[in-house]
């Protein structure tokens, strides 16, 4: 097989794209493989859905909050991806046989098990354009109302992500719509995370010409993975679909019928790089 050319990098983009800070929540579900295979074949015909425990397929919702520094200053972006864990059909012979727990902890060193994006909702018009043009992501506008674990907030490990509709208006401005699309909650308080060396994560896209792209994302520290498979943990993660007739809502309801329990969750939070400490009083007045 002859070598393939690299996909183009159109102006004004530069690669690799460097993240200044990243905060992530992922929730995984093991589900019936039949509708997953059918939906994946429509979006990415050269990918096959991976199967794990008892032959079930794996789908995920992946929320990201990230900061990037540019020549003109800084920008903050939020997005959420609805993914199928999949691999290139032509590389099926290279895959290791893994359980879900093994995959979630990063045992696949081929990195062929990647995320096949079905929907990506994003609040940054520039990032929407970059995702479409560079990685063939099915990316479109939305906005977020979130509650996150933070060193600058109350103690706790609960993530609440509310995603709402939006449009890109004149001059690449985001025009918010109050209509909710989905709510994702993960109550991880009191659970102990397992260190998971899952990166680089391979993201798959299919461009308008039908060409399959693979874009790896390196995260420079381990993830924390939470096993939610035990029955007593079944209520730790919860998804509510508010717009079931939208394309996103329809696909979510098809692959994740109401009541489908989450199998696992994973998080990443960039460590702080500085801290502004508590002030203290200095004595004033005449010196003795």
The residue-averaged pLDDT of 180-209 equals: 97
Q: Give strand ranges (E) for 102-169.
A: 114-122, 139-147, 158-168
Q: Write the CA distances from 263 to 67, 182, 195, integer angstroms.
A: 29, 19, 17
What pLDDT score was predicted for residue 285? Answer: 85
What's the pLDDT tens digit per position in 107-117? Answer: 999 999 999 99
Round the average pLDDT of the chain to a whole number and report it. Answer: 96
DSSP assignment of 184-247, as one string?
EEEE-TTPPPEEE--PSEEEEEE-TT--EEEEEE--SS-EEEEE--SGGGTTSEEEEES-TTSH
Checking if the pLDDT of 28 tops 80, the result is: yes
Joined tokens for residue 40: 């994946």
d(CA 202, CA 275): 33
Checking if the pLDDT of 50 tops 90, the result is: yes
Q: What phi-psi label fits residue 156: left (phi over 0), alpha (psi between -120 and 50 degrees) or beta?
A: left
Q: Are 267 and 224 in contact (CB under 8 A)?
A: yes
What pLDDT score was predicted for residue 2? Answer: 76
d(CA 285, CA 127): 55
Burial pattern 78-101, b for ≥16 Cβ within 10 A else e, equals: bbbbbbbbbbbeeeeeeeeebebb
d(CA 120, CA 84): 12
Helix axes 33-43, 247-255, angle to 10 degrees: 150
Checking if the pLDDT of 1 tops 80, the result is: no
What pLDDT score was predicted for residue 287? Answer: 78
Checking if the pLDDT of 288 tops 80, the result is: no
What's the pLDDT tens digit per position in 2-16? Answer: 788 999 999 999 999
Count other C-beta atoms under 10 Å from residue 239's C-beta.
18
- What is the Cα gyration radius of the chain? 21
Checking if the pLDDT of 72 tops 70, the result is: yes
Count other C-beta atoms under 10 Å from residue 230's C-beta.
9
% of the chain residues with pLDDT over 70: 100
Torsion over CA: 122, 125, 131, 137 (sign): positive
- The overall longest dimension of the chain from CA atoms, in Å, is 87
Identify the structural domains of the chain with CATH numbers, from first to last.
21-269 (2.40.400)
Q: What is the 3-state secondary structure (H, E, C) of 119-132?
A: EEEECCHHHHHHHH
């Amino acid at each position: 097989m002859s070598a393939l050319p690299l996909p183009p990098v159109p102006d004004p983009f530069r690669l690799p794209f460097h993240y200044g800070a990243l905060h992530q929540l992922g929730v995984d579900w093991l589900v019936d493989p039949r509708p997953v295979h059918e939906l994946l074949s429509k979006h990415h015909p050269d990918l096959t859905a991976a199967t794990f425990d008892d032959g079930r397929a794996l789908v995920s919702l992946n929320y990201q909050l990230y900061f990037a520094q540019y020549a003109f200053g800084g920008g903050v972006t939020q997005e959420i991806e609805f993914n199928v864990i999949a691999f290139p059909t032509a590389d099926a012979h290279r895959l290791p046989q893994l359980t879900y727990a093994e995959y979630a902890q990063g045992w696949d060193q081929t990195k062929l098990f990647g995320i096949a994006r079905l929907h990506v909702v994003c609040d940054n018009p520039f990032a929407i354009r970059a995702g479409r043009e560079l990685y063939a992501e099915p990316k479109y506008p939305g906005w977020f109302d979130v509650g996150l674990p933070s060193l600058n907030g109350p103690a706790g490990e609960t993530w609440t992500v509310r995603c709402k509709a939006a449009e890109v208006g004149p001059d690449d401005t985001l025009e918010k719509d109050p209509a909710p699309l989905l709510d994702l909650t993960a109550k991880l308080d009191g659970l102990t995370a397992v260190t998971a060396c899952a990166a680089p994560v391979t993201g798959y896209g299919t461009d308008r010409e039908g060409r399959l792209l693979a874009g790896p994302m390196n995260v420079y520290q381990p993830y924390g993975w939470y096993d939610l498979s035990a029955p007593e943990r079944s209520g730790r993660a919860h998804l509510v679909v508010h717009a079931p007739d939208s394309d996103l809502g329809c696909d979510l309801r098809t692959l994740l019928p109401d009541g489908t329990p989450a199998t696992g969750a994973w998080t990443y939070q960039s460590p702080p790089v500085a801290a502004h400490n508590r002030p203290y009083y200095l004595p004033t007045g005449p010196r003795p």
